[in-house]
Amino acid sequence: MGLEKTLCWASGYNKKNVLCYIITRLYSATVKGGSLNSETNVPNYLPTDNLREKFMESGLIFETRYRKFPSTKRPVYKAIVFDKDGTLICFDSVWVPWAKQIATSISAAVKLDVQEDIFKVLGVCSKTSRVQPGLLAEGTKSQICEAITGILTKKNISRAYAHEISAHHINCCIPQPQQVNQLEDLPQLFTVLRQHDIRVAVCTSDSREPTIRALDKLRLLHLVDLVICGDDEQTHPKPDPHNGLLICDRLSVKPNEVVMVGDTPTDVKFAKNSRFGLTLGVLSGVGRRSDLERAWYGSKKTELNVRQLQNSKFQIIPSVADIIPIVLPNASVPVRVRPRLLSASQYDPTKKYKLVILDKNGSLTDVHPRWSNWAEVISSRLRKITSARIADKFMEMIGYDAEARRVSGGMLPDCSILHIRDCLGYLLNLNGYDERCSSEIVNKVWFVPDLDADDLLPGVVETITHLRQHGLAIALNTSDSQEVSRKFLSCTGLEGKIDYVLSAEDAGRHPKTSPDAVYHVLNALGHQPDETIVVGDTPSDLISGQSAGVGLTVGVLSGFSRAHNLLPYANWLIPNITHLPRLVLSNQH
């Protein structure tokens, strides 16, 4: 790839990062005698430590020294086609409010109660607000318009008037930007794909205007090569292979070089009909595993088919974040992995570790009394100011079980308190409150629970002191704010015993499960990933450690999560932090 093309391709990037990329490539080709490899788009050599340090000092390089350049092996697949709703962004947050609005407005316009009929044809459950595979998830707006027109004609309304009413309300109802919530860190994912010269297309049943607006909000427009929408001229709705062949033609790739990623049976059938090289069904949207398998196998599904599932052209994965190990198996970039527990024979007790990165809530403190009281107070205030329904939705969002008075799942274990506060505002927006009103409500109901020395789990201070006496540095990686973290250290007697604290503000836009927080700590303390231990009570704590390539991930059962939640991500499970010295200092006893 020439320099001119490099500049065009990177036009949407931060200028300093682009300049760094260009300087690195020119340095490779001239100073060290390397060449600009047009096939892999990466320099054959990296800059010397001296030059790299100068780049760091001038602010040209922001990545840590642990982040690597793309793999030099050319990927098997040359293009990836993504569905939008349910694959890249949360389906329910966008389309459930939309479905309710058009059902209400059309019922009012024709002065008939047709809401349940509309919900049924769209595949929406009015009681649970859940969407099933159906017209809303898989059809275009034109198809939805025809279906609702059919409902109205059965109510003795003329077809012309029914179509006019349906089209008017469907086209006037536009999802709001705050309803567009990405399911993963999409800019980072798409950047990795582009670095490996993989072309990116989005093929959606949605209309072009809201699609472009959503991609712009997600900061993806400059990373997408082609967008095919349901209202584009000379296109056919999925699962017709026409759009698949059109994508191949415009991206200059063969069908067997293309990967399709989608969440509905229609996406799976579309990829199958287009004869794409690989189809990845994701469970982050509308389709269930059984729905996706049925779409691929039809009535010929056998036990043999299921056993060969992972070796075929069709695989099912949890979310779009899991595509990297499949489409780029040789990539040297951090990815989310799920290794099995280390067996006793695999564990090396002579390994010497130098750094322990600890989570706070659940690993060092008893989370349930403090956060149960907090959740109940917030809920009570919301009930008084808004409604019981919004209060219940907030409790569901944070994962609080009122009967058990326990947090399990949801946002509270994995997200910063700052992010949860923002999401409460979004919840109010989705339920009809404007920005000003929702901000006032959040300010009225919100508070951060006070810390008490009694919240500290027994033996924490002694354990940390013991680890430090044996030469291990201790860092704290917490989702709490800087102010809360400072108060915590002060009131628990841990002040002076923690070498580094990374708070929610420090993590910025890279909170757990991203490995960036771990890299931040490693850079600050000057340690290597393989000599580091990450300890936490939630999957996100452990995934961030795995993604950073640390030597050991240890799950503790004293916090939010249970053993079966942590098993896929932990090398070891221990009841609480007091058992940690036996595990990591066993070679010294």
DSSP state string for 88-139: TB-HHHHHHHHHHHHHHHHHHHHTS--HHHHHHHHTB-TTT--B-SSHHHH-
State how far Cα 296 lies from the chain centre: 26
- Look up the pTM and report it: 0.43
Which of 247, 190, 209 lies closest to 12, judged by CA? Answer: 190
**CATH code of the domain occupying 79-86+182-327:** 3.40.50.1000
Per domain, the residue ranges of the chain are 3-58, 79-86+182-327, 91-179, 355-364+456-588, 367-445
DSSP string over 32-74: S---B-TTT-SBSSPPPHHHHHHHHHHT---S-TTPPPPPSSP
What's the average model confidence in pLDDT over 5-34? 41
Residue with tokens 């990405």: 182
Same fold, 79-86+182-327 and 355-364+456-588: yes
Cβ-based neighbours of 255, under 8 Å, separated by 6 or more: 244, 245, 248, 274, 275, 276, 277
Q: Residue 397: what pLDDT?
A: 87
Query: Which helix (DSSP H) or strand (DSSP E) does residue 406 occupy?
Result: strand 406-407
Residue 334 CA to residue 346 CA, distance in Å, equals 23
Share of the chain above pLDDT 90, in %: 16
Lookup: tokens for 92: 């329910």
CB burial class (10 A; 0-12, 13-18, 19+) of residue 304? exposed
> Measured at the alpha carbon of residue 527, what is the angle toward residues 526 and 528, in degrees to the nearest 5?
135
300-323 pLDDT, tens digit each: 555 444 444 444 588 888 888 888
Q: What is the pLDDT of residue 363?
A: 84
Please tell me the least confidently modeled range out of 34-48, 225-239, 533-547. 34-48
pLDDT band at 475 (very low <50, low <70, confident <90, very high): very high
pLDDT on residue 95 = 66
- The CATH number corresponding to 355-364+456-588 among 3.40.50.720, 3.40.50.12780, 1.25.40.320, 3.40.50.1000 equals 3.40.50.1000
Q: What is the pLDDT of residues 414-454, one digit of tens each?
A: 777 777 888 898 889 888 888 889 899 999 999 887 777 67
CB 296 within 8 A of CB 268: yes
In the numeric block, which tokens belong to residue 332? 């040297």
* Averaged confidence pLDDT in the chain: 75
Residue 268: pLDDT band (50, 70, 90) is: very high
